[in-house]
Amino acid sequence: MRLKAGAGALSILIGFAFLLDVNSETAVQGSGEATESIAAGDSSVFQGPIADARIDVLKRSRQLILYSGNKVVKQYRIGLGFNPEGPKVRQGDGRTPEGSYYVCSKNPKSQFFLSLGLSYPNDLDASRGLKDGLITRSQCQQITDAIRRGGVPPWNTRLGGEIFIHGSGSSADWTWGCVALENQDIQELFNTVPKGTLVTIKP
């Protein structure tokens, strides 16, 4: 009888320990940061535009984060310009801009697979460029007018332009200032991000 009682108690203890382990694992999974995609296991999320899309580009950590409202949809590894430190100042400096921009164009026939054009230079870039003598007052006004319309700003000034989020690989900082992703990742963004989407590029 004592042996049976001991075995029963042992079984209860083992079962209790198993429940604790399962609950502990669930708690750890539930307490993690919002790095797992809300679209995990649901590829349909990337078949069309998502609601309230916005993008954060974090240069230091080489991450692009896609949001739907305040929810993280997915995070992507990125490559930057070949001279990534600091904000873009002028054409040919190899820097990726920093600031608030929007998707102003979409190119399904990009030489880098697919691309989303960004509204660099913006009005703040134009004001700085005018102050530094890089652009004329007329060019500054053209940039400001384009931004106010939500269009494509002039890309042919000494401030540079043609800054894109595009494909062709994210393993290194190799672009002239663009944000580079793997092809399958830019495909997801291209499918889900409409023109006008806010893109905030942070140091």
pLDDT tens-digit series, residues 84-110: 999 999 999 999 999 999 999 999 999
| pLDDT on residue 42 | 58
Domain ranges of the chain: 43-120+160-202
CATH topology of domain 43-120+160-202: L,D-transpeptidase catalytic domain-like (2.40.440)
198-202 and 53-58 beta bridge pairing: parallel
The answer to whether residue 20 scores a pLDDT higher than 60 is no
| pLDDT on residue 18 | 38
The stretch 158-175 carries a mean pLDDT of: 98
The stretch 137-154 carries a mean pLDDT of: 98
The model's confidence at residue 48, banded by pLDDT at 50, 70 and 90, is: confident
For the chain, the average pLDDT equals: 85
The stretch 113-141 carries a mean pLDDT of: 98
Tokens linked to 177: 């200032």
Lowest mean pLDDT among 4-18, 79-93, 122-136: 4-18
In the numeric block, the tokens 């954060």 are attached to 56
Predicted structure pTM score: 0.79
Cα distances (angstroms) measured from residue 41 to each of 38, 57, 66, 97, 146: 9, 24, 16, 33, 40
The answer to whether residue 170 scores a pLDDT higher than 80 is yes
Tokens linked to 140: 């500054």
Share of the chain above pLDDT 70, in %: 78
| pLDDT on residue 7 | 45
Tokens linked to 66: 């896609």
Query: How many CA atoms are closer than 13 Å to the CA of 122, on its beta-carbon side?
Result: 19
